[in-house]
Amino acid sequence: MPIDTSAAVSGQIVCVTGAGGFIASWLVKLLLEKGYTVRGTVRNPDDQKNAHLKQLDGANERLSLYSADLLDFESLKAAIMGCDGVFHTASPVTDDPEKVEQAIIGTKNVMTAAAEAKVQRVVFTSSIGTVYMNPNRSPDTVVDESCWSDLDFCKNTKNWYCYAKTIAEQAAWEVAKERGVDLVVVNPMLVLGPLLQEGVNASVVHIMKYLTGSAKTYVNAVQGYVDVKDVAKAHVLVYETPSASGRYICVESMLHRGELVDVLAKLFPQYPLPSKCSDEVNPRKKPYKYSVEKLKSLGMEFTPITQCIYETVKSLQEKGHLPLPSQLQH
């Protein structure tokens, strides 16, 4: 999809929370390319880990970084006041039950600040983790935007990431309803793709461990994948489409971990990839059915997952997180 720098964008000011993150960095890049003026919230604007944002095209003229903490309402209010829209991408990826409360407070603070600033729309980065965690779903059920994760199941399986994400998204919808905020939610599956930031984020570690040899086997599990650039594009698409509403699942395809390793082996055979599944007793897990028709109906097109995986590994090599094939000892 070509980038549309329409007149409607000029002069629009938007806030991106957690601007230095994996998805947020690509979102800031795309918003700047499209002509938006962007306010990014980060913990410390002078921290080296946010330096990549200042290098983006248009950053000198139209990007300002605000020091803000999700738990500090006034700091968020300062960043959001005067904005036309908010993209709330800052939500900790955590398996720590202690951090659940923080995710809820942070989300409520952003939503309340957005309500007070009377922004046109808030786009909230949620997760497929708020959608698919349900042990009672039949194999024939198509997972779509009407599905919600079962909180008791998340608790009992100690999946605090999905639990926190689900409660945070529910909190966002509650505040939106109470305060009359136009909220749209994007629910991506596991996000891969090239890194703009220097460090390796949690979702990219998912494939890096197979390439470094630290994972000797792969698990018997399936996972949905989507390119980070597509996730950024989806955020802008739902922000700019007046009729967009509710939730949008964002995924390109689903692979068994064995299929993922096969793709890596075809593209990068030099790395010490595992060839065995850790579970050789049970049948191979099958992917569940899902629908991305809602997002596609807005004109969304996805990057093929093989291309996305290739670009992810190339990026890890370029940033020095992975040895080049020529540096590997055979």
Interval 116-149: pLDDT, tens: 999 999 999 999 999 999 999 888 899 999 999 9
* Residue with tokens 């659940």, as numbered in its chain: 100
* Separation of alpha carbons 305 and 49, rounded Å: 28
The pLDDT, as a whole number, for residue 329 is: 64
**DSSP string covering 83-118:** -SEEEE--------GGGHHHHHHHHHHHHHHHHHHT
**DSSP string covering 280-294:** -SSPPPPPPEE--HH
Mean pLDDT of 286-312: 96
**DSSP string covering 130-190:** GTS--TT--TTPEE-TT----HHHHHHTT-HHHHHHHHHHHHHHHHHHHHT--EEEEEE-E
Beta sheet of 253-256, edge-to-edge order = 190-192, 222-227, 253-256
pTM of the model: 0.94
> Which positions are catalytic?
165
* Separation of alpha carbons 71 and 283, rounded Å: 45
Residues sharing a CB contact under 8 Å with residue 318, sequence separation 6 or more, in sequence order:
none
Interval 71-114: pLDDT, tens: 999 999 999 999 999 999 987 666 777 778 888 999 999 999 99
* Separation of alpha carbons 240 and 7, rounded Å: 12
